[in-house]
Structure 1
Amino acid sequence: MSGLTNEQILLSPVVSEKSYAGIADGRYTFKVHQDAHRTQVRQAVEDLFGVHVERVNMVKVQAKPKRRGLFKGVRPGWKKAIVQVREGETIEIFEGAQV
């Protein structure tokens, strides 16, 4: 075990049209720690939000090259988790927000 706490595993919710479209189906999207794995994400969501997780899908978002005028740089890559909760359960942090 890498010794990460639940608060260190889940960094923030992902705010996008695609992530909010999944809320109707019980899918919630989080930005997670680079070293976190499925089991840690499942336990963190269940402990922090008091819901039952059915499935966790992990996606590595690749780094992207960016330019602004003459300056070149790279936007950092990150890891996201798409969490499916049991039907009828919700996570309150996402409720009431509009995109």
Structure 2
Amino acid sequence: MSIIIKPIITEKITKDGEVFNRFGFVVDKRANKIQIKQAVEEAYGVSVTDVNTMNYRADRTVKYTKSGLIAGKTSAYKKAVVSVKEGETIDFYNNI
């Protein structure tokens, strides 16, 4: 099971990474904090101190158009904000 799906690269998360050593990831919905911690430490070679998780629900929308009603839905996902040890960092752009 692949725990980490993709990193989150937004202005807010990038600022948190620079100031507070916190990084965001979209993770598997079934993963717990211990599994997320182990996956990040293994993938990026850093020491994780704290893991916070949030479950986002699927949002449903209805659009009224000339051709009628169009129903849509965004995907549900789980987000993890990982704090790493001070002095360590994760570089998403030059990770080879």
- TM-score by length of structure 2 reads 0.85
Tell me: CA distance 1:53–1:87, structure 2 relative to 1, closer, same or farther (3 Å): same
The answer for the alignment partner of 2:58 in structure 1 is: 63
User: Identity across aligned pairs (percent)?
Assistant: 35
1:66 deviates by: 2.2
1:30 deviates by: 0.1
Report the number of matched residues. 89
Helix, strand or coil at the partner of 1:41: helix
Letter in 2 for 1:15: I
Structure having the higher Rg? 2
| Whole-Å separation in 2 of the counterparts to 1:21 and 1:42 | 21
Cα-to-partner distance string for 1:27-69 (whole Å, 9 max, x where unaligned):
0000001111100000000011110000000000111112343
1:9 aligns with 2:8: no
Helix, strand or coil at the partner of 1:28: strand
Q: 5+ residue gaps in structure 1?
A: none
Cα-to-partner distance string for 1:71-90 (whole Å, 9 max, x where unaligned):
01211210010000000101
Helix, strand or coil at the partner of 2:92: helix
Which structure dedicates a bigger proportion of its chain to strand? 2
Letter in 2 for 1:76: S
Cα-to-partner distance string for 1:3-34 (whole Å, 9 max, x where unaligned):
x2xxx100001122221121121000000011
- TM-score by length of structure 1 reads 0.82
